Chains A and B, each alone.
Chain A
Amino acid sequence: MGVKIDPLKCTACMACELACGYHRDDAFALLSSCIVVYRTRDKKDYFGVILKEEEDLVIARPEGLEVKRIGAVEEGGGGGDASAKPMLLREACDLCEDRDDGPLCKQVCPVDAVYLD
């Protein structure tokens, strides 16, 4: 079971990214999040969410959800627009194992785009 994102419900609000950053750092920060909104292609209105798991990258593109094996993704890259810290250098999702209420990203998504599957 892992975190999944419905790209057509997503509004690129970054609440999940902020929540995950808090889960990592006990402070508000975005650099450590393993769930990241890619949002640099504004002029095309193209946005989505990318999540790093132990072995996979889960990429929620508008055209659909895609799961890629990390070995098959370029070293240091990993898609998305996490320019300051590439996805592959971030910690993998641990499903917020230390929280009784489960994944914080899921709890704060205002449009229920984050789900477990």
Chain B
Amino acid sequence: MEFLASDQIAIVDLASGEVETEEFSDELCQEKIGGAGINLALYNQHADGDPIVLGAGLFTGSMVPGSCLGVVTAKSPLTGQVAHAPLTQYLGMELKYSGFDYIVIKNAAAAPTMLWVHDGILDVEEAGGLAGLDVWAAVDQVRADKGDDLIQVLGTGPAAASSDLACLMNNYWPSGDRFGLGHALAAKNLKLVAIRGLGLLEIADDEEFVDQCVALQGEVKGGVWAGKKGLLDLAKGMGQDALADWLAPLVHRHRANFNTPFAANSFLFLQGDPSALPEPEEAEMGVLLTDLGAAALFQQMGLELGDAGAILKQCAKLGLDAGLAAKVCLDGGKTDAAAISGALEGLSGPVEGLSGPFSPATPKTAVFGVDQAGDDAWWTRRQAVAHIFGLDPLFVLLAPELSEAKLVELAGIGTELEFSQEGLDAVIAEVCG
């Protein structure tokens, strides 16, 4: 693949420590397009190694609005089914620029291991020194060891070894994984994957592609999300005003995922003045909320916001999915902060009601009054589109301008390959299972 790609697929066998690379062929892209489509094809091809597949979408890291998404495809310890977990913030983009489009991780290592992915090189390294660290300490340690604070880390925490509620972590914060894939990574003795992307993506017809992206950016700007920012507005846009009011006193600023117009992450200050803007002296000020799931449950339980924030931070360091942990606690009758906090270490599933290939971290209810929101089939199809093309899974719900026809057209302009609606329909059907 000459365009919108690095042209390399890595196959890592953790049992032997060997890494093979394959060319990312035009044929594979044309047939499966990208992201979850290709992840799934690689998963099936290497199924005997119980693979975990990391991939970027066709447009990840490009100028198509919302182009942040990376995808992890693996069998969920919680559902027993193959799931596609979303990697937002900067992680998908970093993978795309790392020199690898897809990474297949097979089998299990005998000792704690990490992968170091950069400049088209993939090193399998021992990670004994990281094994006992919490998520935040491990991220800091890897960045210090490699001398680069912009390394993006797909990691796990201490919870991953024993709990099926352990999620994939995106640096210090939870990813959108609701499938317990942190536990799946730990089962392979893989502590983390450190990624740095300094590459370059060629574009087949660059002027036309960029002109169309700029025009699209102009169109989406007038969308339902315009003038709104962060999880407070998102909560209000879902009719959850009480949740927004509960969160508001500690919210500091809102952050977007890579090249994504609507900023869907909000930071809770757990110390200091949330309205203060200068750089704080303290190294840690609080916790980034990347979705509303856990917060909504804690509010429902009647927790104080500060206590809920402390639990979210504890979960982030343990690498525990706070939303699932909150649900298990609620179902088990633990609804006060001390009981929840005390139960986190050692907490595990099962979790009722989890199903499907896409993460419920992206809300299924109508947001900002979008017409078709709340329709399960529509939601699933839009998630498939997001996970194939590498687009923010929330933003695709808010931006009908990112239509399937437009994305198919852009795919052709960007790659010089031929794509069709029928081909996209077939890949959508596959990734939806």
Interface residues of A (CB under 8 A from B): 8, 11-15, 18-19, 22, 25-31, 39-47, 61-63, 81, 83-84, 101, 104, 107-108, 110-111
Interface residues of B in 54-75 (CB under 8 A from A): 61-63, 65
Task: List, sorted by A's number, 26 A–B pairs whose CB atoms are closer than 8 Å.
Answer: A12-B256, A13-B256, A13-B257, A13-B258, A13-B259, A13-B261, A18-B61, A18-B259, A27-B201, A28-B61, A28-B62, A29-B199, A29-B200, A30-B97, A30-B198, A40-B149, A41-B279, A45-B288, A46-B280, A63-B277, A81-B150, A83-B150, A84-B150, A107-B217, A110-B220, A111-B263
Flag if A108 contacts B285 (CB, 8 Å).
no
Choose among A14, A101, A104 the residue with the greatest number of B CB atoms under 10 Å from its CB.
A14
Flag if A11 contacts B206 (CB, 8 Å).
no
Q: Interface extent on B, as a size class?
A: 35 or more
Known interface pairs A29-B200, A29-B201; A11-B150 also in contact (CB < 8 Å) = no
Flag if B255 contacts A12 (CB, 8 Å).
yes
Nearest-CB residue, chain B, relative to A85: B198
Nearest-CB residue, chain B, relative to A19: B63
Known interface pairs A11-B229, A13-B260; A104-B277 also in contact (CB < 8 Å) = no
Selected from B63, B172, B252, B285, the residue in CB contact (under 8 A) with A22 is B63
A62 to B253, CA, bound (A): 10
Interface residues of B in 198-222 (CB under 8 A from A): 198-203, 206, 210, 213-214, 217-218, 220-221
Task: Give 4 nearest A-B pairs by CB, closest first.
Answer: A110-B261, A13-B256, A29-B200, A45-B267
Q: How far is the CB of A103 from chain B (nearest CB, A)?
A: 12
Majority secondary structure, B binding face: loop
Flag if B259 contacts A42 (CB, 8 Å).
no
Check B48 for interface membership: any CB of A closer than 8 A.
no
Flag if A81 contacts B149 (CB, 8 Å).
yes
Check B90 for interface membership: any CB of A closer than 8 A.
yes
Flag if A104 contacts B214 (CB, 8 Å).
yes
Known interface pairs A11-B256, A14-B259, A27-B201; A44-B279 also in contact (CB < 8 Å) = yes
Flag if A108 contacts B63 (CB, 8 Å).
yes
Check B136 for interface membership: any CB of A closer than 8 A.
yes
Q: How far is the CB of B155 from chain A (nearest CB, A)?
A: 14
Flag if B254 contacts A11 (CB, 8 Å).
yes
Flag if B255 contacts A31 (CB, 8 Å).
no
Known interface pairs A18-B63, A19-B63, A28-B203; A84-B280 also in contact (CB < 8 Å) = no
Known interface pairs A22-B210, A84-B150; A44-B278 also in contact (CB < 8 Å) = no
Interface residues of B in 246-297 (CB under 8 A from A): 252-263, 267, 269, 277-280, 282-286, 288
Selected from A44, A61, A108, A111, the residue in CB contact (under 8 A) with B283 is A44
Choose among A11, A26, A47 the residue with the greatest number of B CB atoms under 10 Å from its CB.
A11
Flag if B65 contacts A63 (CB, 8 Å).
no
Nearest-CB residue, chain B, relative to A107: B214
Flag if B286 contacts A45 (CB, 8 Å).
yes
Which of chain B's residues have a CB closer than 8 A to the CB of A81?
A: 149-150
Check B383 for interface membership: any CB of A closer than 8 A.
no
Q: How far is the CB of A26 from chain B (nearest CB, A)?
A: 5
